[in-house]
Chains A and B, each alone.
Chain A
Amino acid sequence: MHDKQPAISMRNISKSFGPIQANSNVSLDINRGEILALLGENGSGKTTLMNMLSGIYFPDSGTIEIEGKPVVIGSPKDAFSYGIGMIHQHFKLVNVFTATENIVLGLKDQGKYDLKESAKKIKQICDDYGFDVDPDQKIYDMSVSQKQTVEIVKLLYRGAEILILDEPTAVLTPQETDKLFAVLRNMRDDGKTIIIITHKLNEVKDISDRVVVLRKGEYVGEMVTAEASTQEMTNMMVGRQVSLNIDRPDPEMKYRMERIRVKNLTVKNREGVTKLDNVTFSAYTGEILGIAGISGSGQKELLEAIAGLQPVESGTIEYNVDDEQVEQLIGMDPLKIANMGVILSFVPEDRLGMGLVGSMDLTDNMMLRSFRRGNSPLADRKEPRHLAELVVEELEVSTPGVDTPVSKLSGGNVQKILVGREIAAAPTVLLSAYAVRGLDVNSSYLIYDLLNRQKGNGVAVIYVGEDLDVLLELCDRILVLCGGKVSGIVDGRTTTKNEVGLMMTKLGGGEDQ
């Protein structure tokens, strides 16, 4: 490896955002024709580092060399002139344009603007690497994975030699991931350099040649993938020995009862698009019901319908208080549900936009649900303050104090505050959407542990997740959504990743229960 000149070498790169040191003194080499995995927990500075390579950010200090020559990358255009292109988590495509139009958009080609010629060239690229793109298809007709493909082809069309992919598999099903990895390998074999940012270990193992680990903005080491185990990678990423097994206690069958019964639930969004189609299922006390599906398959609408936040077209949602008393939750708003005595906690996907108020401090966020208590026109802040202090202590939230705005905290700590508040209400039903998204390994395990404790207390937990490995390890049953329909409910202990993956894309079907 040392006889080769690295394609890119970054030397002592540092970057800070206000008080946050995103990268400090990172040095790393990227070789031509390799797939390099950039591994690290959230907030470890992977994306920031790559954004400096692609010209989005500018380093505070440090140098970047390409083929041994120092360069200054001050804009994405500069980056592109060195053949560096990046695919971000959020795609930058014009919906009403076709794939070809998007790919040539903004290109200052010499000569005539010839879409047909471009389409031919795109077809050629696709055939070379095994992409599956129809150049004339409009973006709005495409699945997430197709859009991602268009982004990749766009870079190749423009002659990129070094491609950076930021968590490309976050939005893909296992099958789509396999397909993506296949084309990435083809590209590597063709001499392209690929950097993939991820925190999923099995993918690192699967695709990369070499892995560089970042922790808290610093370079901590690198390994040749073939010689490293996932346990070694995790330890390096987290900085200490961690156990990778998620607990799954058996549900207490003695007191098990049906808590929520959803029947024939249909929901349309504002534009009249059906988001949930005739959904029927039950959630039981003392179990974790997982909900799997490609993002946007109706998970959000389902939880919000139960929580009283989503107008419903038809169907029923029943809440069983005990064996006799049944309450109907349709047509209720969150306040009415709470006033009925139903303690329904909800950890929404959008933590700062929905679950919390970013600019308010911990105390004020703790009182969001409880501020109405008492007859005084003035709000009591003493109790919320105690609660905030308690949550900070018990969940080991790292914060300067309970007077700090939550938006200043890291993702993991924000989630601890939200989950802490929702659990403190002693709920009978706990809805959670992507509870560990963006959380580091430690925080994720803390959240799994909290959910399991709620399950032990007899709470009906509904867990919407995106990581199938986690769903399979944590949940007692898994409901799979596909395009707003239930494609099946499977037993978390016996099902396989492949089965769930196929159900997510409607190709297979588990046994309906």
Chain B
Amino acid sequence: MIHVVKRKEMPLGKAMAVRIGIIVLALVVCGVITAIATGLNPIDVYATMIQGSFGSPRKAWILAQEVALLLCVSLALTPAFRMKFWNLGGEGQVLAGGLASAACMILLGDKMPNAALIAVMFLASVAAGALWAAIPAFFKAKFNTNETLFTLMMNYVATQLVAYFVIVWENPKGSGTIGIINQSSEAGWLPVVGGNKYVLIVILVALLTAGMFVYLNYSKQGYELSVVGESPSTARYVGIKVDRVIVRTLLISGAVCGFAGMLLVAGSAHTLSTTIAAGRGFTAVMVAWLAKFNPLIMVGSSALLEFMGHGAGEIATTYGLNQSFGDILTGIILFFIIGTEFFITYRIVFSRKTKQIGEEQGDV
């Protein structure tokens, strides 16, 4: 018979050692699978992955920017998740923010100074993202609708909306895309800081990370939303207005998503398409969970996922492998990481169906 038995609490040091050991083990398994499936030398493959992410300063900066963008969306989802509001609408909220930014750039691009335009874009995208998240929040608070489905559906609405405006603003006609917005005037483009177009986004998201960490762990509102998440009846018992906290938290969650949308449109892509969020709204869910909703640890988990993604792309081109092979490796690593948590909390006991149970386990 197999029994799952809860462990005595593992000391933090040992738990960390187990986690690191497991990642090493995962890399070994990935190596073996790589060797068997492709016949390539796994060490070379890993080297290529590192090459793909850090091979040149430009590659490293691109990775940093991608980590920052993914982290930004993850930070956005975190307050909702801490409140046990499963916001799967990151994708749609980012798109809403991006759409608002693009609208400002296209419609107001030549009508005001750049600083004012960026301020307007900021307000518009934050408001659009917040609205997109507040709608499901309102229905959750008032009618206890299922937020998982609702936020998910809102993604499709946002995608269709963006698809519509891509046709409206199509440039050049017939291309089916908007093209680079304000390519000549660069109106509404986020400024280049430190002589490098990637730096600004990284700095902004770093500040946001620190801000979110403080908000969640030290502010009164952060405390309130944790109480609501853990126990709505306790929240009511101490006079916290649960409805209001749900809507307020989702306004923040959506606003940060909207901000991420602006960073994407005005800061890196300078265009708008239905795929601009590129699944970040969903990957961010994983980032947040892996880090147990701690913004500082999320830096690490988003870096890991982006690194794996970039590395996968690199080995795909270098060795002519399918891009999916990288996804397989990512999957294996995530499987190990998530599995570890189970084994840190529980152990498995095997016992044969005999009468002498005690003696077998006597010295365990």
Contacts and interface: CB of A to CB of B under 8 A. Distances in A.
B5 A60 contact: yes
The winner among B1, B218, B237, B240 for most chain A CB atoms within 10 A is B237
Interface in B336-352: 349
B235 to A, nearest CB: 9
Interface stretch (A90-98, A256-264, A361-369): A361-369
A353 B236 CA distance: 11
A354 B233 CA distance: 5
A401 interface: no
A352 B234 CA distance: 8
Given A61-B362, A72-B357, A17 B237 contact: no
DSSP class of A's interface residues: helix, strand, loop or mixed? loop
B239 A338 contact: yes
Contacts of A379: 218-220, 222-223
Interface stretch (B105-113, B174-182, B224-232, B308-316): B224-232
A354 B237 CA distance: 7
Nearest to A338: B239
Interface string A343-361: 0001010101111111110
Interface string B1-44: 10101111100000000000000000000000000000000000
A19 interface: yes
Nearest to A351: B234
Given A19-B9, A355-B237, A368 B231 contact: no
B220 A346 contact: no
Contacts of A60: 5, 349, 361
A129 interface: no
B358 interface: yes
Interface string A3-18: 0000000001000111
A61 to B, nearest CB: 4
Contact of B220 (A19, A348, A378): A378
Nearest to A304: B237
B351 to A, nearest CB: 8
B353 interface: yes
B227 A368 contact: yes
A182 B72 CA distance: 68
Contact of A18 (B7, B227, B238, B355): B7
Contact of A357 (B8, B218, B227): B227
The winner among B1, B219, B230 for most chain A CB atoms within 10 A is B230
B241 to A, nearest CB: 8
Interface residues of A, number: 44
B183 interface: no
Contacts of B236: 309, 333-334
A70 B239 contact: no
A82 interface: no
A354 B361 CA distance: 41
A466 to B, nearest CB: 21
Interface residues of B, number: 36
Interface string A316-356: 00000000000000000111101000000010101011111
A348 B234 CA distance: 10
A58 interface: yes
B358 A62 contact: yes
Contact of A334 (B8, B218, B239, B358): B239
Contacts of A62: 357-358
Given A58-B1, A353-B231, A360 B357 contact: no
A357 B237 contact: no
Given A70-B355, A72-B357, A368-B227, A353 B220 contact: no
A293 interface: no
Contacts of B230: 357-360
B171 interface: no
Interface string B186-224: 000000000000000000000000000010001111111
Contact of A353 (B233, B349, B353, B361): B233
The winner among B1, B9, B355 for most chain A CB atoms within 10 A is B355
Contacts of A350: 233
A364 B233 CA distance: 16
Contact of B355 (A16, A72, A338, A377): A72
Nearest to A346: B237
A353 B231 CA distance: 6
A145 interface: no
A371 interface: yes
Contact of A309 (B6, B237, B356): B237
A174 interface: no
B354 interface: yes
Contacts of B6: 17-18
A332 to B, nearest CB: 10
Nearest to B240: A335
A40 interface: no
26 contacts: A16-B5, A18-B9, A19-B8, A59-B357, A60-B361, A61-B361, A62-B357, A63-B355, A72-B354, A74-B1, A309-B237, A334-B236, A334-B238, A335-B241, A346-B237, A353-B233, A357-B227, A357-B231, A360-B227, A369-B238, A372-B220, A377-B219, A377-B220, A377-B221, A378-B219, A379-B220
Across the A-B interface, the 10 shortest Cβ-Cβ residue pairs: A335-B239, A70-B355, A61-B358, A334-B239, A18-B6, A19-B8, A357-B230, A379-B220, A354-B233, A368-B238
Given A335-B239, A353-B231, A355-B237, 18 more contacts: A18-B7, A59-B357, A63-B355, A63-B357, A333-B239, A334-B238, A334-B239, A335-B241, A336-B239, A338-B239, A350-B233, A354-B231, A357-B226, A357-B227, A358-B231, A368-B227, A378-B214, A379-B223
Interface of B: 1, 3, 5-9, 214, 218-224, 226-227, 230-231, 233-234, 236-241, 349, 353-358, 361-362
